[in-house]
A and B are shown apart, each in its own frame.
Chain A
């Protein structure tokens, strides 16, 4: 696969993932670029991996972790808060997304990525295990627990902890 084809195929996937985790457009775009520079440098490995999507998302996740280590945590959280109230989309969509953000914020980071991977990118537990560098059994149990929590919150329509 040529780099242009990889970019065409996975640009939206990487961008969605980074925006889901960061919300800060500028930071997400920076990490997006770092991710594809790394993909470009390791393009020959793409043919050897089981799931190109999981491999590219693994790179994106590692780049994000590296970058966040460089930035003071408070700074990122502040910017995320600002982004939450400045999302440009139809009103109902904003309200729904803010509720959903609130629910997802109550999950731990790994569970959030698992929910995102399962429902947005439709990754398998095996792909998520590779991406998160965790045993598949751990991903399955975390996925079960996170889905139960999400469903309970949906069912109750609540925004409180529990």
Chain B
């Protein structure tokens, strides 16, 4: 982005500090090309706004519930694997357990 492009971008997006706005006003007054840059930026913003979607509340809540189910499932899987690992550690011959860990990385894999 060159300086003027960046100024136009930041101005249209309302991200420009107050002191730099004066520079924008000056450019608008003195350089017609800059006004064209502002117009183009505005067109880009307005066109691409089409892609900003909002989840409706029902869908948002449904997805939230599914996420919570997955989180709970992962939690219980992790809890179960801890227990199974512990049982296997105690019941398997230690050489077999250590070999499994060494070769497979885990007793589950």
Contact = CB atoms under 8 A, between A and B. Distances in A.
Do A and B pair up? The answer is yes
Most chain-B Cβ atoms within 10 A of its Cβ — which of A37, A41, A122, A155?
A37
Nearest to B50: A97
B48 A116 contact: yes
Chain B binding surface, main DSSP class: helix
A16 B53 contact: yes
Interface string A143-160: 110010011001100000
B44 A33 contact: no
13 contacts: A11-B60, A19-B53, A33-B70, A36-B67, A37-B67, A100-B47, A118-B9, A125-B1, A144-B5, A151-B40, A154-B40, A154-B43, A154-B44
B64 interface: yes
A11 B55 contact: yes
B44 A96 contact: no
B53 A143 contact: no
Interface in A31-84: 32-33, 36-37, 40-41
A41 B46 CA distance: 36
A121 to B, nearest CB: 8
B51 interface: yes
Interface in B1-53: 1-2, 5, 9, 13, 15, 40, 43-45, 47-53
Contact of A12 (B1, B55, B71): B55
B63 A33 contact: yes
A20 B53 CA distance: 9
A122 B44 contact: no
Interface in A102-142: 115-116, 118-120, 122, 125, 140
A59 B40 CA distance: 32
A12 B54 CA distance: 5
Nearest to B47: A100
B52 A37 contact: no
Interface residues of B, number: 27
B45 A15 contact: no
Contacts of A33: 63, 66-67, 70
A15 B44 CA distance: 21
Nearest to B49: A120
A16 B55 CA distance: 9
B67 A150 contact: no
A151 B15 CA distance: 21
A40 B71 CA distance: 8
A15 to B, nearest CB: 5
Contacts of A16: 51-53
Contacts of B55: 11-12, 15
